[in-house]
Structure 1
Amino acid sequence: MADQPYPYRSALITGASSGIGTALARNLGARGVSLVLVARRESRLRDLAEELRTAHSVEVDVLPADLTDVAQTAQVEARLTDAAKPVELLVNNAGSSAAGVFANLPMDREEATLRLNNEAVLRLTRSVLPRMRIAGRGGILNVSSLAGDFPSPSLATYAATKAFLTHFSEDLAIENRGSGIHVTVLLPGLTKTGCFATNAFGPAPVPRLFWLEADAVAAAGLDAVAAGKRRCVPGAAYKIVNTLLPFTPPPLKRALGRHLWRR
């Protein structure tokens, strides 16, 4: 951890019960940041909260919520607008996806992905931004994916939601320039979390250097939003990919996408 104090003293993290979300919580807890942990799995949240309180003596609140449900999302919105306990950093990390040919996937699953990856982010961000603008400071870290910048057959809805999230984040960063609010989009590639950890999700085998650790992804994103960077791509290999993508001919990108996500 950096020697200087982290600029945000409180944070709310969605999707905190596993993967990058848990890594984000542990990283912020080690920096002495008070936390609100949001996810569906209450038991995991409570175990993580107790771990962080014991290890770092930080205040941790648990807020179980399914962000595909409007009423439960409203409970998180209410927490973000609580003036008595202001949240200085909002981390929109929760996300879902389903692999397969779109025509064969259940529509309710695809709609849930859209609600979680995009609609919930819109609602939570809209809830916290006005108060941040009045205060003249705050941070928003949106966990997107390089899949949103790259053809991803078998992940069509997921990739589309991440493309939306990336553009939404970068536009918000411009809108809030000079306001004291930092909006950062985190764009990891393949990360060792859940079903991605063993290539079980569908991608063709890729070299080891393209697999990222969740802890490293979390640290990079949190450092980036603290520094006011609009875009964060963790990992040396993915930094090169990110630099080359704008100059890659679309037919080549489509061919690479077909190879990577062949099923």
Structure 2
Amino acid sequence: MIAHLSDLHFGRHDPPAAATLADDVAAAGPDVVVVTGDSTTRARNAEFAQARAFLDGLVAPLLVVCGNHDVPLFGVGRLVAPYDRYRAWLDVDLEPRLDLPGIRALGLQSMPRWRWKNGRVSARQSALVGTYLGAAPTGAVRLLALHHPPFVRGPARIAGRGALLRAVAAAGVDLVLAGHTHVPASRRLDLAPGHRLVEVVAGTATSLRLRGAPRSWTVIRVDAGHIHVEARVEVDGCWRGGPAVSHPRAAPGTH
């Protein structure tokens, strides 16, 4: 099982939700916890310390990526050392990798210092998707995580989208996890003949900044035929399961 959290926004968070979230995640028994960015609100040391303390309370292996709020908004730090605090507090590796029984996961840093809010994935990062996820063992779940939803079109689309989508299809990626919108969603995408994946966008788990949806985190269960996605919703510090959505999975062995 995969626990997918995003947009924690420590520094502008709801304390009751944060206080009960780790226990709710642990009760689900995840094999891995993926956090798709914006662990802080303004990339301040105090916020990173809160995020680090929360992450240390999670019981499964972690894969965490950087979001646009994890980079200083203004000042010299954004220009010369935009990721130093993130690396010092959360993960020195901006492109973390996990290789576990039955799953291979890769995180990408989609927030360059020179973009204000929208993301970018470089040609080098797209190539990494192919070399790392494309070489996963047959039948393993191939998981890509980044902060910005990569399939969005229009003004919010990420730079480098076309090359990334081609790499995702060529590598046979099963799951793409993202955040950024604060609204949970999932959908199946057929990017190329014979290739099917599921995109899951997690809502905000603990932020006070809601966008028409309650705080939530996402449970993802994968079996041979389907990817099951369920958002767990917070109400007054208590977490409740919502309806699960099942998406057909590409048959193992077709990669």
Place the TM-score, normalised by the shorter chain, in its bin: 0.3 to 0.5
TM, length-normalised to structure 2: 0.40
* Greater per-residue helix proportion: 1
Question: Which protein is bigger by CA-based radius of gyration?
Answer: 1
